Chain A
């Protein structure tokens, strides 16, 4: 059976030894992404801002009256989705990209997919600054609930690591996933109600939203930043369940097959 064989104590010792590597890899992801661009890291502020302006111009005419404070609605949804797509999409090919090192030096291999979650987290946190600025600019109310943004953030980190581990493992054995996942991400994007109100989805298909973990994360984030209210119990429970389940499945899969990676890369 799939369960078992995860040695926790060695895991922690190893993680402590290689924490510098994690930091270096996160740095590398960010550096390489913005290398040779004039504005550098400022793009992680500018890009969501420009995206928001474009979509606000387009959609505020379409859904006028439907959504209060469209810029904040859009931005909060998009930040979550970008975090998810960057972290998992990057983790997908991470084993293959680092093949030359994996073949030579022993390091715990999970560090490659996991580093992607943390480098995307840096971008995510930087973009949160933009979100707060936009909230100020649009005169959105700041409620004490804003402190709860840590909840969706932590859940997202766990969820992304889990999904990243799953994808990284599967992709070693079946490269098809690489091409398929782009399509899948588009599907996730449209079923997460990022730039349209969830009500426009017909009642028959509302279950897609209900059971989409990314949308649950989006909803939690919006509760905090946009609506200033406590989380809806079902959404919170479902998001937690999805995060933990994906992490457990990811760890089991990864640990089970990581020794075979080297034969396939």
Chain B
């Protein structure tokens, strides 16, 4: 329905502008600037936005909306040209040419057809060595919302895998004309549902590309799912790719405060924790050196020390239990263990079945974006290892 509203909006403003222009008392400088601005910039701009919108909305809109908006744009511009005034003539003509082109493109797109993405694509593919696909995640009746830390309901995430990113207008128009802009779609996650109780340790296993990191990014709020709902109860500390995200020109000290602010901590709080962070990261000597001169081990140490300074309510771990050298690993493992013993909710991603068995009570197995299995950590890890060794 959206494009009908867009169309109506454009047409109503068209009519208003034209009425304005043909009313003698209003059509005099400087008042006639308003309808001109509307006709020259705002309406074509709005229409163009409507044309671009399908891209921005995950390319879901059918060719028809593009066609109808362009048609209205064409009509607008034909009327403007009829009311033409010399100084603006060339502008109008240029815009009319553009509109005409876009309309033709819209026509072609409509002819070739523009199908809704096929949601069932992965369901038809057999997954090697698995049981039936797990879908539902109904919360047991005894639990109320307070006891649930993370609830994921029917979450799907779609990416547009067009080979190169289209980020300039020329390419956009060329691709649009060739009709190859919207085709490569890829579902990184399909209909994932589960819940994590407060204090529970949940593991996520799966091969590369199974969608584990995407799921963690969705839960930590960095990305929004294409469809579905994610509810999170409590403060999250994400430990994703610890090394990145520091400002290279900033010293270690400055980066500590910057990262603290990024995690939403106040300056006073960071000042009180500053010594502890520096001590834990063992970077006393280098704390006033710009981070760009740090080794990668030093950077991850710093990242780990800052991120774990607060005992979080929900901790998200993406393959970060191997930070730094052996000595630091031992230390970070200690700290992680202290979290695990407490009432902290943990989501842990790992390739290692042993780690999952050790640290988690429940686990999820993802494969190609779908949930294969959910249940007791031991059982899931065993089945996962079994399928991996059988596949290999």
Contacts and interface: CB of A to CB of B under 8 A. Distances in A.
Interface of A: 1-2, 17-18, 20-21, 23-25, 28, 31-32, 35, 100-107, 173-176, 207, 210-211, 256-257, 259-260, 262-264
B6 A101 contact: no
List the 3 closest pairs (A to B, CB-CB), nearest first: A106-B221, A21-B261, A24-B261
Interface of B: 2, 5-6, 9, 29-30, 33, 49, 52, 55-56, 58, 159-160, 165, 167-170, 172, 217, 220-224, 236, 238, 240-241, 244-245, 247, 249-250, 254, 257-258, 260-267
A176 B168 contact: yes
B257 A24 contact: yes
Contact of B264 (A2, A17, A257, A264): A17
Nearest to B5: A1
What secondary structure prevails in chain A residues at the interface with B?
A: helix
Given A35-B249, A104-B244, A105-B238, A20 B266 contact: yes
Contact of B250 (A28, A100, A176): A28
Contacts of A105: 220, 222, 238, 245, 262-263
A21 B262 contact: yes
Given A1-B2, A259-B223, A263-B160, 10 more contacts: A20-B260, A20-B261, A20-B265, A21-B262, A23-B261, A28-B254, A28-B258, A173-B167, A175-B168, A211-B30
A174 B224 contact: no
11 contacts: A20-B261, A20-B265, A24-B267, A100-B245, A104-B222, A105-B220, A105-B245, A174-B168, A174-B169, A207-B33, A262-B222
Contacts of A101: 244-245, 262
Nearest to B46: A2
B245 A174 contact: no
B224 A107 contact: no
A263 B167 CA distance: 11
Contacts of B266: 20
B222 A176 contact: no
Given A176-B168, A176-B169, A1 B244 contact: no
